[in-house]
Amino acid sequence: MRDIYKEYREKSISADEAATYVKYRDRISYGESVLFPEVLDEALSKHIYMLKGIDLRGARFPKLPKVVEVDPDHNHVVMNDWQCTGIYGRLKNDETIRDIPLCYHQAPRTIKKYHDFDVAFVKVSEMDKNGYFNYGVANSLTNAILAKSKCIILEVSKSVPFCFGGCKELIHISKVDFIVEGNHDPLMEFRSDVPQDADRRIAEYIMKEIEDDSCLQMGNDSVSNLISQMIVESDLKNLGIHTELLSDACMDLYNAGKVTNGKKSVDQFKMTYTIANGTKSLYDFLDRHPECASYPANYINNPRVIAANDKVVAMNKASEIDLFGQVCSSGDDKQQTGAGGQLDFILGAFMSRGGKGIIFLNSTYKDQEGHLRSSIVPCLNPGSIVSVPGPMIQYVATEYGIAQLKGKTTWERADELINIAHPDFREDLIRQAEAMRIWVMGNRH
């Protein structure tokens, strides 16, 4: 019988020793999102000046790695993000970070087909009695990355919850090269923005589209949190959760008895997700919770899996949309985030029987000079990043209403979008739509 505890001791090394396994021109991978390998990153930052050409990759970097911070001129390391988020928007302009565009449900397959890693640093839970470490709140790409890594170094933390999964949420000690003791600091917490009046009006429009027995996908944003609160106060019942990102909003719905998952066709009685971000309450909730299951992104974000459930309501935030219905990842010409799973869930929701894919956004935003701009524009600016193509869009919601675009002509779609734009911009949008020959006054008669 294998002595897993002896093997654990034999594979245990210091963080400084682990850093020496990174060599010249290595491609290395960090764990996803809040499972950022703090101790290993700190150790590598002390050695990085001796290295060149390091290609650092990760998903949803929650902060600037120390190894990048100590190399401001990028002489030693280049940082790349599989699923660029807030840190990407703040750093892109100084070329500290680069995006790796991907369709999220295809990401594990993309990694397995086209990528190899020399060293992987991954934060995990403590080992269980069977010799398994758990990926915790970040299952989405981890298994695919470790399958393509020559050297796997785990950073073990007591703060990482042991999250039950549908598959591929564990790695056995026999597959691990080295183990480093983490600092056991609490996981980073994520809280949504304080909701504004416009967010509440958007949430009220979306609420009208949610029925009993619906299966929800939602994020960790102010509108999603408001919708969660409204559902708790409503008569809605027997809801399910199948979502890319599990947040406090989903936990609150479960704790209020609104989510039973009993009407789901797949993973019945399970709240399914691929990654979780939120507060410590969420992480504690997920620890060994028998009704929660994490899966890799190629399962959770697969449109066919999504569509297997009836009445899927997918709610995704955007920053900009043009009169052709193209959804953009930014409100100006600078990308702020990756496309993520928007396209996956918009497709899956439409394929679902009774399903609804909803894109929501505030009708306006303020530019860098403080000027009010419309988030609904005639056409996207050069350099804008499309996250969902126009023909795929079903519902669009702003604080001025909700529009259904599927099956409509280009001028009908433009008309619907102009009607939910901010009133101060509607006349200008009409003029520009007419100039572009996608909308003319005669269409209304």
Q: Give the tens place of pLDDT for each residue, 109-157.
A: 999 999 999 999 999 999 999 999 999 999 999 999 999 999 999 999 9
- What's the pLDDT at 96? 67
**Alpha carbon of residue 396 to chain centroid:** 20
- What's the pLDDT at 382? 82
Q: Does the fold of domain 197-444 match that of domain 4-181? A: yes
Distance CA 377, CA 371 (A): 15
| Paired tokens of 36 | 């950022």
| Paired tokens of 273 | 């997700």
Instruction: From the candidates 32, 38, 169, 244, give the one annotated as an active-site residue.
Output: 244
**Alpha carbon of residue 422 to chain centroid:** 28
Per-residue pLDDT band at 331 (split at 50, 70, 90): very low
Distance CA 97, CA 136 (A): 26
149: CB partners within 8 A, 6+ apart: 29, 116, 117, 118, 119, 120
- What's the pLDDT at 335? 44
312: CB partners within 8 A, 6+ apart: 214, 215, 216, 217, 242, 306, 345, 348, 349, 352, 355, 356
- Check whether 284 has a pLDDT greater than 70: yes
The type of residue at 66 is: K
Q: Give the tens place of pLDDT for each residue, 358-369.
A: 999 999 999 889
Cβ atoms of 279 and 324 within 8 Å: the answer is: no
One of 3.40.1080.10, 3.30.70.141, 4.10.93.10, 3.30.530.80 is the CATH number of 4-181, namely 3.40.1080.10
Closest CA to 84 of 104, 112, 69: 104
pLDDT average, residue stretch 57-66: 90
- What's the pLDDT at 333? 44
Cβ atoms of 397 and 360 within 8 Å: the answer is: yes
Quickly tell me which residue has 């409100």 as its tokens: 331
- What's the pLDDT at 145? 96
Catalytic site residue 17?
Answer: no
Where do the structural domains in the chain lie, given as residue ranges? 4-181, 197-444
- Mean pLDDT check: name the lowest of 184-198, 236-250, 273-287: 184-198
Q: Which CATH superfamily is domain 197-444 in?
A: Acetyl-CoA hydrolase/transferase C-terminal domain (3.40.1080.20)
Quickly tell me which residue has 């399970």 as its tokens: 270
| Paired tokens of 244 | 């890319």
- What's the pLDDT at 283? 98
pLDDT average, residue stretch 367-392: 91
Helix (H, G, I), strand (E, B) or coil at 61: coil
Higher pLDDT, 425 or 194: 425
Q: Give the tens place of pLDDT for each residue, 395-441.
A: 999 999 999 999 999 999 999 999 999 999 999 999 999 999 986 55
The type of residue at 308 is: A
- What's the pLDDT at 341? 86
- What's the pLDDT at 133? 98
Beta partners for 291? none
pLDDT average, residue stretch 158-181: 96
Closest CA to 71 of 35, 96, 88: 96
- What's the pLDDT at 412? 95
Closest CA to 348 of 312, 316, 299: 312
- What's the pLDDT at 439? 62
Cβ atoms of 388 and 326 within 8 Å: the answer is: yes
What's the mean per-residue pLDDT of the chain?
A: 92
